[in-house]
Each structure stands twice: as structure tokens, then as C-alpha cells.
Amino acid sequence: MSSICSAVVSNSVFNSDIRLAAPPRCLFASKANTMSAYPFHAAHFNAVFPLHLSNIMAVDTSNYIQGLASSLYVSAAITVALLTAFLWRLYNDPLGHIPGPLVAGFTPISLWWLTWTGVECRVIDRLHQKYGPVVRIAPNEVDVSDGAALSLIYIKNGGYMKSPIYRNYDVNGFETIFSALDPAHRAPRAKAVAPMFAHQRIAKGKPDADKVLDAFVAEMQRRKDEADGAPVDVLNLSRALALDTVTVYLFGECFNGISNGRLRVTEFINNFVAGGRFFYLPGWFYDFVDDWSAKLDKKKLLVAQSTDMIQEYATRVVDRSVVEEKDVEPETFQGRLLAAGISREEAIAQVVDVMFAGTDAAGTTMAILCWNLAQHPEKYHRVYKEVVENTELDAQSLPYLTGVVKESLRLSMANPTRFPRVVPPGGMQVPGLPDIPAGTSVGAGAFMLHHNPEVFPEPRQFMPERWLNPSQEMLRDSFYFGAGSRQCIARNLASAGLWWAAEALIRSDVLRGANIVRDKIEIVEWFNAKIVGEKIELHW
């Protein structure tokens, strides 16, 4: 698929081979020839049918011609109307100056198809290579690949408002801290829990995190020993690590995903990820498609069971806080929400949302970190040496370990697609880029930013050393958690968890001798990336 245009035109109704049916041959036969087909005399025929056949033919032919003419008039009128609309749109289009495939100015269907099939990012990346850093991808949507625009879109004055499509990620009918559009609605919720994501507060949770990390390392060692050379799935185990780390710190009760073998809530996570294929649809259409997709899902029973586990956990920790944190200073995420006046039902929804977000992205990144170190033993030896020789230093102060984590974040792209925002009144002006009018949906995505060879030379290579002396453009275009006031609220916790986990895993030396099973990790480019095969495997 070379472009959005080719994806749609190949299936366009304008390519249909429409033909008018030919009139019946008998209508143009002579009376003599027609009558010769009958074994009785013409007089008999006329006695039965006193109306002359010639009159019948005249009437029928006249009706057919009238109908044909009417059809041609209608077809011509439709063609003229479509052509008029095409020309009007072409010459009165507020985004007409933005380069991109012609079809992008007329329908979003091609973009929806690319998203659903999971190839949106690579196709849009090719469009940027063809058209430049600003590309029109739908009638009212523009994608930007130049990091110079990030500050204006996401950071300055709080950034632009989120696109209405974020409401597709509401949970149980509630706007979450992630999906809320109105800053006034989000503010009291974010303010209530923000202290839990401060660096000093996170550092106090290190002892509990260490217990989870010890269990993680021990479980990987156990699976390695029992596999006896067979593949070990580090994605499932890394998700369990992320889930246990988030739950023990934020909610005060460890989910214990590591100790239960294969993570029991995997189908909940996979189902949430799959919802990303519909993320960019209008809300009414999203609800319809998502509902039918759930009904037709062959794993719907497993999804329901997995979701019930998450729901039961969230309900339990919220109900516990209703009782135990009612008259004291709340220590938990859900307790702080309740103290801020958030309802019990919404608090449950917020917990469910964080459980997914904290598990998928961090788990995927950690698994890719393991895979890259196994693929590059020389880099593993270098980071191992740094870790074991600096036992007294904080993990985030170790330069090569920092490079390993940041490079894993850059390449994992847990959220590869654009984060759409709505251009405010006055439009968007970035020096060197086309002006974008108010009301346009505009966004940038990690896939394009993290693969830009002008910022990250050899962008598809795992090179931790590039972070030993990063350029300002590298720091600017590192889009793992988004940017600005609406970036991932748990980014500090996620970062600390990754550094701690990488240090513990490397110090244990359990990865020594590991080999990759597949020489490439492929992703389906939905809003949350899906790992093809839903496994990242190593063998020893």
C-alpha cells in the first residue's frame, strides 16, 4: 500500500463498471418473424388478442425508451452534483494548501481502514517522506512529524484541547483522567492523585517494589530452568511485573500476577489493546463497531472472565478505602479520589483504567528491553559491568543503564500513533510549516518522531550509547509518554519502575546466555501497539 490514495481508490465506487441492461431482443423483432414462432395462424392470435402486436411493440418500446432517458437524466444529474461538490471542495477547502493524497480531502474511510488493519504508521511515514513534515490524512485531520511543532500542540499554555475521540476510551461510562476532554473536569481528579507521582513519594515505595522485583527475577530464573532450552515468553512475565508494581504502590494491594503462572488477566489487556483499532472512529460509530466486535470475538468468554477479575479487584480496593481511609489522610490512589468527592463507581473506573495503562506500556517496554539485550550480548556485558560496579548508586544515575532504558522506550513505541488535538481559534503557526486553521485535528506520533534519521541516526538500531550525549532534538522528540500537561500522569512511576526492573534483572545475571527466538519484533500499529503473536520469547 503506497499511499492512502491507493488504499481507497482501488475499492472506490467511482471505479465500478456500471452498465445499462440491453432491451429484450423480441421488442425489436418484426411482426412476421414474431408470429412465425407460433404454430397457429395469425388470425387466431388476433382473435384472442385484438390489439395489434405492432401497437404492443410501439407502446413497450416507447416506455422503455422513456425509462432509459429518465435513468440517463438521473445519472447525469448525480454526476454533475458529484463533480460540482468535488470542484467546490477542491477550491474552497480550508485545508487545501496542506499536501497529501487527494482522497484524504474527501473521506476519512481510507484512514480508518489503515488504522483497523494496523498499518497506519508505516503508511503515514511514507506520506511524510513524499509530502514533507505536515500531511493531510483525512478531511479534517493533519499529521505532523516535525518535533518543532510539539511545544505548540502539547506544551505551551497547557497545549491544545484533546480531540473528542478520546471519549472512546471512557471506562464504565466515566471520563477517566486519560480520556477527559475538559481540563476543568480533569483538574480535581488529577490534583487529588498527583502527589503519588512525585519523585520523592515514589522513592518511598521502593521497598515494596523490591519485593515484586525479587519475585520477578526468581520467576524468570524458574521458567528458564524448567524450559530446558525451550522458549520462555518474557512479554507475559513483564506484564505481570508491571501490574504487580502498579497495584502494590498505587492501590495498597499487590495483584500477585507473577505468582500465578501465565498472567490471568492477559485477555483483558489484549482486548483493551484491540479497542485501539477503532480509536479514531466517531463516538457513535465506535460504540456500534466495538459492540459487534465483542459479540463476534471467539475469545469473548475468556475476555469476560479476565475483565471480571480486574473489576473485582478494583471494586475490592475501592470498598476497602471507603471504610479504612474515610477519616484519615488517604495513602492510596483510590482513597485520594474518594476524599476529593469522586463517587465510588467512578473511582472503580479510574482504578481499572490505570491498571490497563500501567500494565501494557511498561510491560511491553520491559520485554523489548530483555529481547534487545539478548540480541546484543556485547551491550549486555557493558551494562552488566556498570551495574555490578556501582551498587551504591541510584539506577537512574547510571549512564549506560539509562541509555538501555531510554533506547528500549524509543523502540518499543507502546503507543505508536498520533495523539490528536484540536487547533484553537487563531490557527496554528509554526515557522517553516504550513499554517493549520482552527478546528483542525492535528497530532504527532512516536512512530515518526522516533524513526526520524535526522534526529536518531540509524533509527531502527538498538544503540544505548546514543544517549550518553543526547542532542536537544533527541530529548525534544522522545515522545514515549506524550508531552505537556496531558502527558501520561504516571510517567514518573513508569520510569522508576523500568529503571528498577532493568537494574534488578541485569544484576541477577539471569539474561546471560539468552538468545532471541525471532529476529524481529513486529507490531500492529493501533493506538496501543499489539505485539504480533502476543509473545516475545527468549531461550537459553
Average pLDDT over residues 398-425: 97
pLDDT at 263: 77
Instruction: Say what the pLDDT of residue 372 is.
Output: 98
Give the mean model confidence (pLDDT) for residues 79-95: 74
Instruction: Report d(CA 326, CA 466) in Å as an integer.
Output: 49
Q: Give the integer Cα–Cα distance in Å for 476 and 154.
A: 12
Q: With contact defined as beta carbons under 8 Å apart, do 435 and 427 qualify?
A: yes
Q: Write a three-state SS string for 512-524.
A: CCCEECCCCCCEE
pLDDT digits (tens, 9 = 90+) for 274-328: 999 999 999 999 999 999 998 999 999 999 999 999 999 999 999 999 999 988 9
Quickly tell me which residue has 511515514 as its cell.
125
Q: What is the pLDDT of residue 45?
A: 42
Rounded to 5 degrees, φ, ψ at 136 are -80, 130
Going by C-alpha positions, the residue among 102, 107, 98, 105 that lies closest to residue 132 is 98
Coil, strand or helix at 107:
coil
CA–CA distance, 33 with 158 (Å, rounded to integer): 85
Distance (Å, whole) CA 538 – CA 243: 21
- Note the pLDDT tens digit of each residue in 450-497: 999 999 999 999 999 999 999 999 999 999 999 999 999 999 999 999
pLDDT, position 93: 87
Q: Is 488 assigned to a binding site?
A: yes
What are the φ/ψ torsions at residue 537 (nearest 5 degrees)?
-110, 145
Identify the pLDDT of residue 64: 65
Helix, strand or coil, per DSSP, at residue 381:
helix
The pTM for the full model equals: 0.83
With 70 as the cut, is the pLDDT of residue 498 above it? yes
Residue 160 pLDDT > 50: yes
Which residue ranges form the domains of the chain, and what is each CATH number?
4-12+23-120 (no CATH), 140-539 (1.10.630.10)
Residue 48: per-residue pLDDT: 44
Mean pLDDT to the nearest integer, 358-374: 97
| pLDDT exceeds 90 at position 531 | yes
- Residue environment code for 447-458, b if the CB has 16+ CB neighbours within 10 A, otherwise e: bbbbbbeebbee
Q: How far is CA 92 from CA 86, 95, 97, 239, 275, in A?
A: 10, 9, 10, 50, 35
Question: What is the pLDDT at residue 83?
Answer: 73
Q: What pLDDT does 253 receive?
A: 97
- For 68, residues 6+ apart whose C-beta sits below 8 A from its C-beta are 20
Work out the percent of the chain whose per-residue pLDDT is above 70: 86
Closest C-alpha to 401, from 310, 479, 504: 504
How would residue 330 be classed by pLDDT, with cut points 50, 70 and 90? very high
Question: Which has more confidence, 75 or 358?
Answer: 358
pLDDT (tens digit per residue) in 437-453: 999 999 999 999 999 99
Which pLDDT does position 13 carry in this prediction?
33
Phi, psi of 198 (to 5 degrees): -75, 150
Considering only CA atoms, which of 108, 151, 102, 93 is closest in space to residue 127?
Answer: 102
Q: Is the pLDDT of residue 527 over 60?
A: yes
- Whether residue 56 is predicted with pLDDT greater than 80 in this model: the reply is no
> What is d(CA 208, CA 415) in angstroms, rounded to the nearest whole number?
28
Number of other CB atoms surrounding residue 322 within 10 Å: 14
**For 117-143, what is the mean pLDDT?**
97
In this model, does residue 180 exceed pLDDT 50? Answer: yes
Residue 262, pLDDT > 80, answer: no
Handedness of CA 375, 379, 382, 388 (dihedral sign): negative
Best mean pLDDT range from 33-47, 82-96, 307-321: 307-321
Flag whether pLDDT at 145 surpasses 60. Answer: yes
**Confidence class of residue 86 from pLDDT cuts 50, 70 and 90?**
low
Question: Is the pLDDT reported for residue 244 higher than 70?
Answer: yes
Mean pLDDT of the chain: 88
- The residue with greater pLDDT, 299 or 337, is 337
Average pLDDT over residues 94-112: 94
